[in-house]
Amino acid sequence: MSNDEFRAAMSRLASGVVLVTAQEPSLDPDDPSAPDVEDVGMTATAFMSVSLDPPLVLVSLREGSRMDELLEEQDLWAVSVLSESQRHIAGRFAMKGRLSDRLLFADIPYTRGEYTDAPLVGGALAVLECRTEQRVPAGDHTLVIGRVLTAGVPSAEGGPLTYFRGRYRQLG
């Protein structure tokens, strides 16, 4: 089986889309005008509930990605379950090779998590704050299992944003 055959088969599995967020130390600590911390975000489609007792979730991160390296250094992070009207947010944070996410967050309404201080996207279908319980190497990814510290349902309007056959989609 080739990578292309595997990718094609797995693209037939619809998944929800989330934004994983956290904070990292300043990218330029020698610059007095630079903020002390930077918000970081990453679009993920490999996210799932693992356990109700204790409440655990799992996100799959590409090994060596910025978020993988950040969550190896610190254990607090958050998740916003994106709604069908938030496709632009998913696309924005799926871009590779960016240095700073500051501009990406600029026009997105969000609140800060009580425990993580990470951005929680306004209008998301659900928001979670997590603390890493376990990191599991899995091929070219790292499975990060997090204990859910808080969970909320700030918006009950609209359907979920999904990812199917290589594109963002809406149900229905």
Question: Which residue segment(s) compose the domain that 106 sits in?
Answer: 3-28+35-166
| Residue closest to 89 by CA, chosen among 99, 98, 80, 77 | 80
What average pLDDT does range 92-96 have in this prediction? 88
In a domain, 75, yes or no: yes
Contacts for 104 with CB less than 8 Å, ≥ 6 apart: 41, 92, 93, 98
Return the higher-pLDDT residue of 153 and 25: 153
What average pLDDT does range 131-144 have in this prediction? 97
Q: Given a cut of 80, is residue 130 above it in pLDDT?
A: yes
What average pLDDT does range 6-25 have in this prediction? 90
In a domain, 119, yes or no: yes
Number of domains the chain is built from: 1
The pLDDT of residue 99 is 61
The pLDDT of residue 29 is 67
In a domain, 55, yes or no: yes
The pLDDT of residue 125 is 96
What average pLDDT does range 118-141 have in this prediction? 97
* C-alpha distances out from residue 22 to 28, 80, 98, 117, 140, Å: 17, 11, 16, 8, 22
The pLDDT of residue 32 is 73
Q: Among 47-51, 98-102, 109-113, which stretch is predicted with the lowest mean pLDDT?
A: 98-102
In a domain, 171, yes or no: no
In a domain, 172, yes or no: no
The pLDDT of residue 115 is 97
Q: Given a cut of 70, is residue 135 above it in pLDDT?
A: yes
Contacts for 87 with CB less than 8 Å, ≥ 6 apart: 161, 168
Query: Which CATH number do you get for residue 92?
Result: 2.30.110.10
Q: Given a cut of 80, is residue 155 above it in pLDDT?
A: no
In a domain, 111, yes or no: yes
Q: Given a cut of 90, is residue 6 above it in pLDDT?
A: no
